Amino acid sequence: MTRTRQLRSLGSVIVAGLLSAGASPAFAQGGNSACGDLPSHAVLRAALSAAQSAPNGGFGLEMWASVVNRDGVVCAVAFTGGNRGDQWPGSRVISAQKANTANAFSLPGLSLSTANLYSAVQPGGSLFGLQESNPVNTLVAYGGNPGNYGRPNDPMVGERIGGVNVFGGGLALYNASGALVGAIGVSGDSSCADHNIAWRTRHALNLDHVPGGVSGDAARPDNIVYDITPQAGQMPGVSFKGWGHPECSAAATAIAAGLPTVP
């Protein structure tokens, strides 16, 4: 069985197992119809944990993930560790920012991952200043009981988080009918590893029916692009296509090139 089929099969096993164990419906948030096309907390956590455990080219750290619907409402927040302190605390809100960004700047026919936005927002880039355009709602981000962070009743759930994040880890979600239903954001490791983990999580959830993107790879339309050429006096350099992201490690770059293809 190929790696792609293994991951898809793993996603199916996760969902089926949770349902048989009496978990909340895989694509329903406590009766919230606004999140009906998106994974529950239990399913998101299981898929994220499986993706985090695979080689990702980062440090192997525990992760946060958030999912938003098409209106930018947070539908689920989850982490992979034993408790909320096992992941970088700051990555909870970053994961939600990434989800909001991928949703806010993707369309039914064109998906932009957060990794695709890195070069365009640099000084002189075509989208310079974008990262300042939709600030995080701090009351939503930091309100409520911290003991509930990353749980089914995370205070962000049901609220609009806002925020724009322009490095790897955010991906739009497209269902089996090709409809854009929201986005996922993953944070907790290097930005390149975050992208790889988010990609595998989306794949396991069968929400990767991506219609098109800017990567230049039809099989991975919104994949991270590594085409930045160093240039004297600039950090990190110039992206040939304008959608490039800095490399984090040779391993992460190689893994990205072999991520599961879209259906």
55-82 pLDDT tens trace? 999 999 999 999 999 999 999 999 999 9
For 197, phi and psi rounded to 5 degrees? -70, -40
Q: CATH number of the domain at 3-109+127-210, please?
A: 3.30.450.150
User: Beta-strand (E) ranges in 150-207?
Assistant: 170-174, 180-187
Comparing 8-17, 167-176, 194-203, which segment has the lowest mean pLDDT? 8-17
Phi and psi at 120, nearest 5°, equal: -65, -25
Q: What is the pLDDT of residues 203-241, one digit of tens each?
A: 999 999 999 999 999 999 999 999 998 877 766 788 888
Strand partners, 170: 185
The more confidently predicted of residues 63 and 14 is: 63
Tokens 């701090």, located at residue: 138
Q: Which of 227, 89, 105 is nearest to 165 (CA)?
A: 105
pTM above 0.75, yes or no: yes
Nearest-angstrom CA–CA distance, 37 and 247: 33
Position 183: which residue type?
A
- Average pLDDT, stretch 117-127? 90
Residue 182: name the closest of 42, 51, 29 by CA: 29
Look-up: residue for tokens 């409520």?
144
CA 186, distance to chain mean position in Å, is: 4
Q: pLDDT grade, residue 10 (50/70/90)? A: low
**Domain range summary for the chain, segments of one domain joined by +:** 3-109+127-210
